[in-house]
Amino acid sequence: MNDECLCGEIKFEIEGELPSFYQCHCSLCRKATGSASNTATFVKTDSFRWLSGQSKISTFQKPTGYRNDFCSVCGSLVPNQLRDTGLVWVPAGLLNDETASQISIHLHLSSSASWASESDGCVRLDGGSDSLESLNQALQRPSR
């Protein structure tokens, strides 16, 4: 499996089947991703291999140990060694190939953003040439 960051500068591969994914809803993960949660998994270090771009990786770490590695070109979060565990943290959004893995764990739901909830009444858009206009129009409608 060849996977990469948004700009393609950082590339890696994972051998074998991927484990299940988790979504973390804590405030740190929300801030790091700019979204409601962070979806990721852990793979064994011996199943993970960098292909290119390691020199483009920058790191931010809080005194508490919370760490983000990211591409210095495009800002995508990229895999990092998970402390001294023999595991590599892998953000699911970087995976290019199909996988049978699914989200099986939600973490820190008690600190989920107040605006992040399942909503079957949402407008669903597939994209296309008018997708930005359609999105903006849908956002202007009153919330239910």
Domain chopping of the chain, boundaries: 3-116
Q: Are 3 and 57 in contact (CB under 8 A)?
A: no
What number of other Cβ atoms are within 10 A of residue 55's Cβ? 8
Closest residue by Cα to residue 106 from 29, 26, 23: 23
Do 74 and 9 form a contact (C-beta atoms < 8 A)?
yes
**Second CATH level (architecture) for the domain 3-116:** Beta Complex (2.170)
Backbone angles phi, psi at 83, to 5 degrees: 45, -135
Q: What is the pLDDT of residues 19-55, one digit of tens each?
A: 999 999 999 999 999 999 999 999 999 999 999 999 9
Name the more confident of 56 and 106.
56
Please write the tens of the pLDDT for every residue from 93-136.
999 988 889 999 998 888 888 888 766 666 666 666 566 777 77
Q: Name which residue leads in pLDDT, 82 or 54.
A: 54
